[in-house]
Amino acid sequence: MPQVDPRQTIQDAAEGGYAVGAFNMHNEETTEALVRAAERAKAPVFLQVGRAIVPHMGLKRAYEMTRRVAEESEANYVIHLDHGPWDEVFEAIKLGFTSIMYDGAHLPFEENIRTTRKVVEVAHAFGIPVEAELGKIPNADEQVDWSAYYTDVAEAERFVAETGIDFLAISVGIVHGVPLAKPQPLDIQRVKEIEAAVGIPLVLHGASGVPDNEILAAMAAGVHKFNADTDLRLAFRSGIEAMWAQGDRQLEDAMTEGRERMIAATVKKMELYGCAGKALPAGKR
């Protein structure tokens, strides 16, 4: 089936008070897991070509694999570039991505504005929405001064106004990966203040390991896209390890079990985010 409109998908979530899940794939089996979960949950899904798979197989091959698996399904899906650097963003546009994230968060603020604005100009000319990030997200269990990592509300307001982005990824206590120690609580008040200042849907990366009650609170405060990878990757890994623990088994057996566990874990995320049951029938896409 063809892709659904990413702007409308997020707008529907914002109007409906739920969020859409955005998940990374790592090979064919994990791509199938995400698509089958979307079918099973009757949920829209952002299939994210991200930072792990691009070095592994290249952007073009990763996109083609994702598109092929998704087109053979009945899922409501968007193929989204996650954390794309400058050159990769324009390659993604040429390849046919319908949603992109340009990551200039590591740049000085003024340069982030300048480069993001240019990406938006080009992407919008092709009808493609742009997500960008403001603030910094540390790795799990990294010791940081959170005051230097949180997204600044005034900067967020200026950044959105001057770049014209469609979705803003923010830092409010999230991390990449799942922390072993007690996680930093999300700053829900900051989410509310940013949402009021920018007036566009917000995104939280690093949603793995965040307690359910905080996910729900962030959603109520204005987050309508959650990016999660580690929880699902660990589910896939658990299936492989469980199969190999039985002795010498075929790799295909292990990957099949991993895929099934990842499907179940993804469906749970979709149910938590409230997007389960929100897929559009084929005739209404």
Over the stretch 179-200, which tens digit does the pLDDT of each residue have? 555 667 899 999 999 999 999 9
With contact defined as beta carbons under 8 Å apart, do 94 and 59 qualify? Answer: no
| CA-based nearest residue to 165, from 111, 107, 99 | 99
Beta bridge partners of 169: 133, 203
Report the alpha-carbon distance of residue 208 to residue 236 in Å, rounded: 14
| pLDDT of res. 141 | 59
pLDDT at residue 44 is higher than 60: yes
What pLDDT does residue 177 have?
A: 62
CB 3 within 8 Å of CB 77: yes
- Dihedral pair phi/psi, residue 34, rounded to 5°: -65, -40
Confidence (pTM): 0.93
Band of pLDDT at residue 178, cut at 50, 70 and 90: low
Decide if 52 contacts 232 (C-beta within 8 A).
no
Main-chain phi, psi angles of 220, to 5 degrees: -65, -25
Q: Please give the average per-residue pLDDT across 101-123, as a whole number.
A: 96
Residues annotated as catalytic (active site), given as ranges: 82
Q: At 2, is the pLDDT very low, low, confident or very high (cuts 50, 70, 90)?
A: confident
Q: Which tens digits make up the pLDDT trace of 211-252?
A: 999 999 999 999 999 999 999 999 999 999 999 999 989 999
The DSSP H or E segment spanning 23 is: strand 20-24
- List Cα–Cα distances, 27 to 24, 49, 108, 243, in angstroms: 10, 10, 34, 19
Q: Residue 75: which pLDDT band, with cuts at 50, 70 and 90? A: very high
Domains and CATH numbers, the chain: 6-284 (3.20.20.70)
The answer to whether residues 272 and 212 touch, using CB atoms and an 8 Å cutoff, is yes
